[in-house]
Amino acid sequence: MNPISGNKRIETLDFLRGFALIGILLVNILPLLNVAPAEAGTANWYMSRILDLTVESRFYVIFTFLFGVGFYLFLSRAIEKGNNGYLLFIRRLIFLLALGFVHQKFHPGEALFLYAIAGFILLPFYKLKPKINLIIALALILPASFLGGKLLLILPLFLLGLAAGQYKVFQRLAESKSAIRKLHWISFAMAAIGVFIQCRILPEQNVMVIEEGSSSSDMILMQIYQGAAAFIGLLVALFYVTTLVRAVQHPFIRTLLKPLSAYGQMALTNYLGQTIIVLLAAAFFNLKGMLSPIQTTLLCIGIYIIQMLFSMIWLSFFKMGPMEWIWRIATYWTIPAIRNERYCKQTDKHF
């Protein structure tokens, strides 16, 4: 989520947040609309395969990692300003916990509630050296992937993001181009091998269901597949991140993807907004159980367009998204100015 500070924003993080939101909606919309598994061999079945291999367990990884980065940026900037960073971050987590509790009533399996809980566990790690946090994160990732998938991966990914923040990875992108390029190609090779393996072991249905009386071998097979998919998701996510980081270093691409940056700058607003839009569409048009994977993908594209346009228009008038503003009030217990300074100067000319 967005670090709130008077310091200059790291726009690359906004691009990554926006990118993560795109993939998260593609996955979340399926259970929200009760999309049934497609018949094998159909166009929708192939779309489910594509989502499994390119989206599932990929974008959630990026979103979670970025929370760890944001944790470091928020706490370090707050302490640098002479504030009690721990107290402020605890308030921030309490608000997120309450928000996630309400959100999960409408969207079971949502991330905010679990992020808040894991955020409290993350607090003591801030004082550890980045090397130690990195080692702990890497040591936990493999067993977490195979034992608990997304749930157990939250803390290791938070720690990985924290270590990246401590190493100031995103502040030093310009001077790390060679290292990022190497990591990009290594991650490409590893992700390609991983996706090939996952493709070979992918079950006929995108979700393996173990019915009563299923053999232990079936249960072991499901556990292996889900663990492998979670771990391969990490490799693909690394490839996605390094690809986007390299891409936005080019001024033309950076300008072209400006809507993605605005989308990510209002990450909390847009994350919650995705759920609201999908549930309202389902209620008004009776969509639950009626759409296919292809149709939900097209619906997602429409939501992206609406939210990106809204984000760009909103940020031309205001400094932050509406939910980000409320989150800041809950953190600092003050009401900050929200109007964009450029907009204020332009309107002042008319008086």
What pLDDT digit, counting tens, does each position of 238-281 carry?
999 999 999 999 999 999 999 999 999 999 999 999 999 999 99
6 in a domain, yes or no? no
CA-to-CA distance for 254 and 116, rounded, in angstroms? 32
Confidence band (pLDDT; 50, 70, 90) for 8?
A: confident
Residues spanned by the domain of 41: 11-348
Number of domains in the chain: 1
pLDDT per position as a tens digit, 163-219? 999 999 999 998 899 999 999 999 999 999 999 998 888 776 544 444 444 556 666
Handedness of CA 90, 269, 295, 101 (dihedral sign): positive
Instruction: Report how far Cα 257 is from the mean position of its chain's Cα atoms.
Output: 17
320 in a domain, yes or no? yes
190 in a domain, yes or no? yes
205 in a domain, yes or no? yes
Q: What's at 36, amino acid-wise? A: A
55 in a domain, yes or no? yes
- State pTM to two decimals: 0.91
Rg (CA), the chain: 21
pLDDT per position as a tens digit, 77-103? 999 999 999 999 999 999 999 999 999
Look at residue 216 in the predicted model and tell me its pLDDT.
Answer: 63
3 in a domain, yes or no? no
Query: What are the DSSP calls for 243-300, one per residue?
Result: HHHHHTTSHHHHHHTHHHHHHHHTHHHHHHHHHHHHHHHHHHHT-TTT--HHHHHHHH
Confidence band (pLDDT; 50, 70, 90) for 221?
A: confident
Mean pLDDT of the chain, nearest integer:
90
